[in-house]
Amino acid sequence: MFMFLAAFQLQSSECLAFACSEKSIFILAGQSNMAGRGGVAKGTWDGCVPRECRPDPRILRLNANLVWEEAREPLHAGIDTSNPCGVGPGMSFANLVLERDPCLGVIGLVPCAFGGTNITRWKRGSELYNRLLTRAYAALQDGGKIRAILWYQGESDSTDETRAKMYKMRLIEFFLDIRRDLASPALPIVQVALASDVGPYFEVVREAQLRTELPNVVCVDAMGLEVKENDTLHLTTSAQVQLGKMLANAFLRIGI
Protein backbone atom coordinates (compact mmCIF):
# COMPACT_ATOMS: atom_id res chain seq x y z
CA MET A 1 0.00 0.00 0.00
CA PHE A 2 2.75 2.39 0.97
CA MET A 3 4.69 1.60 -2.19
CA PHE A 4 1.59 2.28 -4.26
CA LEU A 5 1.02 5.59 -2.54
CA ALA A 6 4.66 6.58 -2.87
CA ALA A 7 4.63 5.84 -6.57
CA PHE A 8 1.34 7.61 -7.03
CA GLN A 9 2.28 10.67 -5.00
CA LEU A 10 5.53 11.03 -6.86
CA GLN A 11 3.52 12.99 -9.39
CA SER A 12 3.27 15.83 -6.90
CA SER A 13 6.52 17.35 -5.74
CA GLU A 14 5.27 18.41 -2.31
CA CYS A 15 5.26 14.85 -1.01
CA LEU A 16 8.90 14.28 -1.79
CA ALA A 17 10.29 16.03 1.25
CA PHE A 18 8.04 13.88 3.37
CA ALA A 19 8.60 10.56 1.66
CA CYS A 20 12.28 10.87 1.08
CA SER A 21 14.49 12.79 3.43
CA GLU A 22 17.94 11.21 3.31
CA LYS A 23 20.25 11.80 0.39
CA SER A 24 21.52 8.65 -1.32
CA ILE A 25 25.12 9.26 -2.30
CA PHE A 26 27.01 7.39 -5.02
CA ILE A 27 30.71 7.74 -5.74
CA LEU A 28 31.75 7.30 -9.37
CA ALA A 29 35.40 6.52 -9.97
CA GLY A 30 37.77 4.94 -12.44
CA GLN A 31 39.11 6.13 -15.78
CA SER A 32 37.73 7.64 -18.96
CA ASN A 33 34.80 5.32 -19.58
CA MET A 34 33.42 6.16 -16.15
CA ALA A 35 34.08 9.86 -16.73
CA GLY A 36 32.32 9.49 -20.11
CA ARG A 37 33.43 10.09 -23.65
CA GLY A 38 30.09 9.35 -25.31
CA GLY A 39 29.42 11.85 -28.07
CA VAL A 40 32.93 13.33 -28.03
CA ALA A 41 34.62 13.60 -31.42
CA LYS A 42 37.67 15.65 -32.34
CA GLY A 43 37.83 17.10 -28.86
CA THR A 44 34.22 18.33 -28.76
CA TRP A 45 31.11 16.88 -27.16
CA ASP A 46 28.09 16.84 -29.50
CA GLY A 47 25.73 17.97 -26.71
CA CYS A 48 23.26 15.14 -27.29
CA VAL A 49 21.53 14.11 -24.05
CA PRO A 50 19.42 10.96 -24.37
CA ARG A 51 16.12 10.92 -22.53
CA GLU A 52 17.55 8.42 -20.01
CA CYS A 53 20.25 10.95 -19.04
CA ARG A 54 17.98 13.97 -18.61
CA PRO A 55 18.44 16.16 -15.56
CA ASP A 56 16.01 15.89 -12.67
CA PRO A 57 15.77 18.17 -9.62
CA ARG A 58 16.19 15.08 -7.46
CA ILE A 59 19.56 14.20 -9.01
CA LEU A 60 22.46 16.32 -7.77
CA ARG A 61 26.16 16.23 -8.40
CA LEU A 62 29.00 17.43 -6.23
CA ASN A 63 30.85 19.80 -8.54
CA ALA A 64 34.59 20.49 -8.67
CA ASN A 65 34.17 23.16 -5.96
CA LEU A 66 32.50 20.64 -3.61
CA VAL A 67 29.11 22.30 -4.04
CA TRP A 68 25.90 20.39 -4.77
CA GLU A 69 24.13 21.41 -7.97
CA GLU A 70 21.56 19.87 -10.27
CA ALA A 71 23.38 17.14 -12.18
CA ARG A 72 23.58 17.26 -15.94
CA GLU A 73 25.81 15.92 -18.68
CA PRO A 74 28.70 15.91 -18.87
CA LEU A 75 28.68 14.73 -15.27
CA HIS A 76 32.48 14.78 -14.94
CA ALA A 77 32.94 18.29 -16.35
CA GLY A 78 35.58 20.07 -14.29
CA ILE A 79 36.54 16.86 -12.51
CA ASP A 80 38.14 14.76 -15.24
CA THR A 81 40.25 17.49 -16.79
CA SER A 82 42.40 15.06 -18.79
CA ASN A 83 40.22 15.37 -21.90
CA PRO A 84 36.81 16.74 -22.92
CA CYS A 85 34.02 14.82 -21.20
CA GLY A 86 30.82 13.55 -22.75
CA VAL A 87 28.15 11.07 -21.72
CA GLY A 88 29.09 8.45 -19.13
CA PRO A 89 26.94 5.96 -17.22
CA GLY A 90 26.09 8.16 -14.21
CA MET A 91 22.95 9.97 -15.32
CA SER A 92 21.19 6.94 -16.77
CA PHE A 93 22.15 5.05 -13.60
CA ALA A 94 20.61 7.75 -11.40
CA ASN A 95 17.44 8.13 -13.46
CA LEU A 96 16.75 4.40 -13.42
CA VAL A 97 17.49 3.98 -9.71
CA LEU A 98 15.05 6.81 -8.95
CA GLU A 99 12.42 5.35 -11.21
CA ARG A 100 12.69 1.91 -9.61
CA ASP A 101 12.99 3.07 -6.01
CA PRO A 102 11.40 6.51 -5.56
CA CYS A 103 11.95 6.28 -1.79
CA LEU A 104 15.68 6.59 -2.25
CA GLY A 105 14.89 10.30 -2.31
CA VAL A 106 17.46 12.74 -3.57
CA ILE A 107 20.40 11.17 -5.34
CA GLY A 108 23.81 12.75 -4.86
CA LEU A 109 26.38 11.79 -7.48
CA VAL A 110 30.03 12.32 -6.61
CA PRO A 111 32.04 12.08 -9.83
CA CYS A 112 35.72 11.29 -9.19
CA ALA A 113 36.96 9.46 -12.32
CA PHE A 114 40.02 10.59 -14.25
CA GLY A 115 41.02 9.57 -17.77
CA GLY A 116 44.05 7.41 -18.49
CA THR A 117 44.69 6.28 -14.92
CA ASN A 118 46.06 2.88 -14.01
CA ILE A 119 45.21 1.22 -10.71
CA THR A 120 48.46 2.45 -9.11
CA ARG A 121 47.25 6.02 -9.54
CA TRP A 122 44.37 5.09 -7.19
CA LYS A 123 46.54 3.56 -4.49
CA ARG A 124 45.90 4.66 -0.91
CA GLY A 125 47.63 7.99 -0.27
CA SER A 126 47.75 8.99 -3.95
CA GLU A 127 46.36 12.25 -5.25
CA LEU A 128 43.27 10.64 -6.80
CA TYR A 129 42.63 8.50 -3.76
CA ASN A 130 42.83 11.53 -1.48
CA ARG A 131 40.63 13.55 -3.79
CA LEU A 132 38.02 10.81 -3.72
CA LEU A 133 38.05 10.81 0.08
CA THR A 134 37.87 14.61 0.28
CA ARG A 135 34.91 14.62 -2.10
CA ALA A 136 33.18 11.80 -0.24
CA TYR A 137 33.53 13.58 3.12
CA ALA A 138 32.30 16.83 1.59
CA ALA A 139 29.31 14.98 0.14
CA LEU A 140 28.38 13.71 3.60
CA GLN A 141 28.63 17.12 5.22
CA ASP A 142 24.93 17.96 5.10
CA GLY A 143 23.71 14.44 5.76
CA GLY A 144 22.93 11.45 3.64
CA LYS A 145 24.46 8.06 3.19
CA ILE A 146 26.97 6.64 0.73
CA ARG A 147 25.08 3.80 -0.93
CA ALA A 148 27.70 2.48 -3.30
CA ILE A 149 30.83 3.07 -5.30
CA LEU A 150 30.56 2.66 -9.06
CA TRP A 151 33.94 1.70 -10.51
CA TYR A 152 35.03 1.37 -14.14
CA GLN A 153 38.77 1.19 -14.63
CA GLY A 154 41.50 -1.15 -15.84
CA GLU A 155 42.12 -0.42 -19.51
CA SER A 156 45.43 1.19 -18.56
CA ASP A 157 46.52 -1.98 -16.74
CA SER A 158 45.93 -4.27 -19.69
CA THR A 159 48.96 -3.42 -21.79
CA ASP A 160 51.64 -5.15 -19.74
CA GLU A 161 51.62 -8.76 -18.56
CA THR A 162 53.13 -8.21 -15.12
CA ARG A 163 50.79 -5.30 -14.36
CA ALA A 164 47.79 -7.22 -15.60
CA LYS A 165 48.67 -10.09 -13.30
CA MET A 166 49.09 -7.69 -10.37
CA TYR A 167 45.72 -6.10 -11.10
CA LYS A 168 43.55 -8.33 -8.96
CA MET A 169 45.68 -7.83 -5.88
CA ARG A 170 45.85 -4.07 -6.40
CA LEU A 171 42.12 -3.82 -7.04
CA ILE A 172 41.23 -5.72 -3.88
CA GLU A 173 43.63 -3.59 -1.88
CA PHE A 174 42.01 -0.43 -3.27
CA PHE A 175 38.48 -1.63 -2.47
CA LEU A 176 39.43 -2.63 1.08
CA ASP A 177 41.34 0.60 1.72
CA ILE A 178 38.57 2.85 0.46
CA ARG A 179 35.93 1.02 2.50
CA ARG A 180 38.10 1.29 5.60
CA ASP A 181 38.75 5.00 5.08
CA LEU A 182 35.05 5.63 4.52
CA ALA A 183 34.33 3.63 7.70
CA SER A 184 31.96 1.44 5.73
CA PRO A 185 33.46 -2.07 5.58
CA ALA A 186 30.53 -3.58 3.68
CA LEU A 187 29.95 -0.66 1.30
CA PRO A 188 28.53 -2.04 -1.98
CA ILE A 189 30.83 -1.70 -4.97
CA VAL A 190 29.48 -2.16 -8.47
CA GLN A 191 32.31 -2.51 -10.95
CA VAL A 192 32.46 -2.93 -14.70
CA ALA A 193 34.37 -5.62 -16.59
CA LEU A 194 36.16 -4.06 -19.54
CA ALA A 195 34.43 -3.72 -22.88
CA SER A 196 37.34 -2.64 -24.98
CA ASP A 197 40.50 -4.36 -26.00
CA VAL A 198 43.24 -1.79 -25.48
CA GLY A 199 46.03 -4.09 -24.41
CA PRO A 200 46.85 -7.75 -25.07
CA TYR A 201 46.27 -8.68 -21.43
CA PHE A 202 42.78 -7.30 -21.07
CA GLU A 203 41.36 -10.80 -20.48
CA VAL A 204 43.60 -11.05 -17.40
CA VAL A 205 42.16 -7.76 -16.13
CA ARG A 206 38.61 -8.83 -16.98
CA GLU A 207 39.11 -12.08 -15.10
CA ALA A 208 40.14 -10.10 -11.99
CA GLN A 209 37.04 -7.92 -12.34
CA LEU A 210 34.62 -10.75 -12.94
CA ARG A 211 36.05 -12.77 -10.04
CA THR A 212 37.04 -10.24 -7.41
CA GLU A 213 35.35 -12.44 -4.80
CA LEU A 214 34.75 -9.87 -2.09
CA PRO A 215 31.45 -9.58 -0.22
CA ASN A 216 29.17 -6.88 -1.67
CA VAL A 217 31.34 -6.40 -4.74
CA VAL A 218 29.44 -7.15 -7.93
CA CYS A 219 30.46 -6.85 -11.54
CA VAL A 220 28.52 -5.98 -14.66
CA ASP A 221 30.10 -7.06 -17.92
CA ALA A 222 30.40 -4.33 -20.54
CA MET A 223 31.71 -6.74 -23.14
CA GLY A 224 29.64 -6.39 -26.29
CA LEU A 225 28.59 -2.80 -25.68
CA GLU A 226 29.27 -0.55 -28.63
CA VAL A 227 32.65 1.16 -28.81
CA LYS A 228 33.04 4.42 -30.76
CA GLU A 229 34.07 4.30 -34.38
CA ASN A 230 37.83 4.82 -34.87
CA ASP A 231 38.30 4.54 -31.13
CA THR A 232 39.26 1.21 -29.60
CA LEU A 233 38.65 2.37 -26.06
CA HIS A 234 35.53 4.42 -25.48
CA LEU A 235 31.86 3.51 -25.29
CA THR A 236 29.32 5.37 -27.42
CA THR A 237 26.56 7.45 -25.86
CA SER A 238 23.98 4.70 -26.32
CA ALA A 239 26.36 2.12 -24.84
CA GLN A 240 26.84 4.39 -21.83
CA VAL A 241 23.07 4.68 -21.40
CA GLN A 242 22.89 0.89 -21.45
CA LEU A 243 25.76 0.56 -18.99
CA GLY A 244 24.12 2.98 -16.57
CA LYS A 245 21.02 0.80 -16.58
CA MET A 246 23.12 -2.33 -15.97
CA LEU A 247 24.80 -0.63 -13.02
CA ALA A 248 21.42 0.44 -11.64
CA ASN A 249 19.97 -3.05 -11.92
CA ALA A 250 23.04 -4.57 -10.27
CA PHE A 251 22.88 -2.04 -7.44
CA LEU A 252 19.17 -2.64 -6.88
CA ARG A 253 19.74 -6.41 -6.84
CA ILE A 254 22.27 -6.21 -4.01
CA GLY A 255 19.95 -3.72 -2.30
CA ILE A 256 21.06 -2.21 1.02
Is residue 156 annotated as a catalytic residue, yes or no? Answer: no
Choose between 9 and 238: whose C-beta lies nearer to ligand NAG. Answer: 238
Integer Cα distance of 233 and 138 in angstroms:
32
Residue 124 has what DSSP assignment?
Answer: T
Choose between 118 and 191: whose C-beta lies nearer to ligand NAG. Answer: 118
Closest CA to 215 of 165, 172, 161: 172
Choose between 24 and 156: whose C-beta lies nearer to ligand NAG. Answer: 156
Is residue 234 annotated as a catalytic residue, yes or no? Answer: yes
Active-site choice (12, 24, 32, 181): 32
Integer Cα distance of 60 and 45 in angstroms:
21
Compute the least distance from the CB of residue 237 to ligand NAG, in Å. 13
Active-site choice (24, 157, 158, 234): 234
Active-site choice (13, 21, 46, 231): 231
Is residue 221 annotated as a catalytic residue, yes or no? Answer: no
Integer Cα distance of 255 and 95 in angstroms:
16
Choose between 38 and 90: whose C-beta lies nearer to ligand NAG. Answer: 38
- At 231, is the secondary structure helix, strand, or coil? coil
Sequence-ordered list of residues with C-beta below 8 angstroms from that of 213, at least 6 positions apart, any chain: none
Compute the least distance from the CB of residue 91 to ligand NAG, in Å. 23
Closest CA to 167 of 128, 107, 102, 212: 212
Interface ranges with ligand NAG (CB under 6 A) = 41, 118, 120-121, 163, 229-230
Which residues carry out catalysis? 32, 231, 234
